[in-house]
Amino acid sequence: MRAYLEREARPRLLPVPGIDLDEYIDTLFERFTNEAIADTLLRLAQFGPSGMPKFVLPTVRDNLAAGGPVRLGAAMCAAWSLGVLGTDENGEAIPVADDLRPFAEQQEAGDALGFIGNREIFGDLADDERFRSAYAEELAALKRDGARARMRALLA
């Protein structure tokens, strides 16, 4: 998440008077590690259906328009598509919103871009070759290597 914010999101943000955006990013990670707040990955994952279209996809679009990087945004979308299937890499059930599951299942049934073909959420992103390719590559890498290994590779 930090790499995404620093490499892909931060360069697209306009200056905000009185706000140090790098310091703000640091503050977010202090919050995530604060045991008193106890923010969980599960809560953040359940935020996906509303948060991804609001925060990640606009950044992907901005980066596509500016010729910026989209690899980490595409990887986040690919991981999201696997998460909505309702099981983790170990086969354990995870609670997810069911409304996106049919798109993820369509993807699993052979339509490699079935998830991002959901125009209500992704709009025309599936039509963009650079995003589509990055997404398909990241989806394949996540399935092949697993999430931890893929995230390590993306950070290297």
Cα–Cα distance between 77 and 71 in angstroms, integer?
Answer: 10
pLDDT at 90: 86
Question: Per CATH, the architecture of 40-155 is what?
Answer: Orthogonal Bundle (1.10)
Domain boundaries along the sequence of the chain? 40-155
Cα–Cα distance between 137 and 13 in angstroms, integer?
Answer: 27
Q: Where are the alpha helices (DSSP H) in 7-128?
A: 21-33, 41-46, 48-51, 57-66, 71-83, 101-108, 119-122
Confidence class of residue 136 from pLDDT cuts 50, 70 and 90?
A: very high
Tens-digit pLDDT profile for residues 77-113: 999 888 888 888 888 887 776 678 888 888 888 887 8
155's enclosing H/E stretch is: helix 147-155
pLDDT at 36: 75
DSSP code at position 146: -
Dihedral sign of CA atoms 129, 11, 83, 48 in order: negative
Considering 14-28, 37-51, 64-78, the range whose residues carry the highest mean pLDDT is: 64-78
Q: For all residues of the chain together, what is the average pLDDT?
A: 87
Cα–Cα distance between 110 and 125 in angstroms, integer?
Answer: 19
pLDDT of residue 140 exceeding 90: yes
Q: What percent of the chain has pLDDT over 90?
A: 51
Confidence class of residue 19 from pLDDT cuts 50, 70 and 90?
A: very high
pLDDT at 51: 77
What global pTM score does this model have? Answer: 0.86
The stretch 45-55 carries a mean pLDDT of: 71
Cα–Cα distance between 134 and 71 in angstroms, integer?
Answer: 6
The stretch 34-61 carries a mean pLDDT of: 74
Q: What φ, ψ does residue 68 adopt, rounded to 5°?
A: -85, 175
